[in-house]
Chains A and B, each alone.
Chain A
Amino acid sequence: KQEVTQIPAALSVPEGENLVLNCSFTDSAIYNLQWFRQDPGKGLTSLLLIQSSQREQTSGRLNASLDKSSGRSTLYIAASQPGDSATYLCAVNNFGNEKLTFGTGTRLTIIP
């Protein structure tokens, strides 16, 4: 059974710093991995999707990497801003279908 872990559960950093969020998964036979952000009480916003054949994906200040063999993915946020404050979730697709297994999330606070 796939298990997805995100450490730390919460992170506070001063504005302007670069930061890395971690995601690990137990079953490396994944189809793809997706990073989301969730603002309090709201739905999920898709940030990046990495297919199993890819090593990384970039969108603006965000860069996500994937190392299937070690069961790890990282989300790098450059030059953090207060608007980046949210909970970040990674989700693994194991079966080449729509079922996602989610991590527990990292609650990020950017201090102005």
Chain B
Amino acid sequence: KAGVTQTPRYLIKTRGQQVTLSCSPISGHRSVSWYQQTPGQGLQFLFEYFSETQRNKGNFPGRFSGRQFSNSRSEMNVSTLELGDSALYLCASSRGTGDLYEQYFGPGTRLTVT
């Protein structure tokens, strides 16, 4: 079974631009979560989507948004990029139902804002 895939793997953007990251979950998984990893703050939860609806949200500004499509693929968008948005963005998928909630992570997208 294929794992979680993320595209692109690397991105370089300029302050003020916007960016869209993509995540394809494991087949059969309906939940996709997004995390930001930085050296200073570690791994922080951004949001989670299940069946095209945002189900959980972390403490990030409105510049960070996401969506999920009917095939469970998810995109994350960051508008008006700031230098502090430079990070490794990880997505994770899970079945989204049942009682295990085991998360499987993708390889991440490394975003550099200059």
The chain A residues found within 8 Å of chain B, CB to CB, are 31-32, 34, 36, 41-46, 49, 51, 89, 91, 93, 96-105
Shortest C-beta distance, B101 to chain A (Å), equals 6
Q: Which residue of B lies closest to A48 (CB)?
A: B102
Shortest C-beta distance, A106 to chain B (Å), equals 12
Known: A98-B48, A99-B48. A43 touches B102 (CB 8 A): no
Contacts of A101 in B (CB 8 A): 45
Within 8 A of A (CB), among B74-114: 88, 90, 92, 94, 96, 99-108, 110
Q: Is residue B56 within 8 Å, beta carbon to beta carbon, of the partner chain?
A: yes
Contacts of A41 in B (CB 8 A): 88, 110
CA distance A31 to B103 in the complex (A): 13
Question: Looking at B55, B103, B107, which has the most chain A CB atoms within 10 Å of its CB?
Answer: B103
Contacts of B92 in A (CB 8 A): 44, 98
CA distance A100 to B104 in the complex (A): 12
Partner of A96, one of B4, B44, B101: B101
By secondary structure, the A interface counts as strand
Partner of A97, one of B6, B48, B88: B48
Q: Interface size class for chain B?
A: 20 to 34
Partner of B105, one of A45, A99, A103: A45
Interface string of B1-20 (1 = CB under 8 A from A): 00010100000000000000
Q: Is residue B24 within 8 Å, beta carbon to beta carbon, of the partner chain?
A: no
Taking a contact as CB atoms under 8 Å apart, the answer to whether A99 and B110 are in contact is no
Partner of B108, one of A36, A42, A51, A100: A42
Taking a contact as CB atoms under 8 Å apart, the answer to whether A99 and B33 are in contact is yes
Taking a contact as CB atoms under 8 Å apart, the answer to whether B102 and A105 are in contact is no
CA distance A89 to B31 in the complex (A): 21
Q: Which residue of A lies closest to B104 (CB)?
A: A46
Taking a contact as CB atoms under 8 Å apart, the answer to whether A93 and B101 are in contact is yes
CA distance A102 to B48 in the complex (A): 16
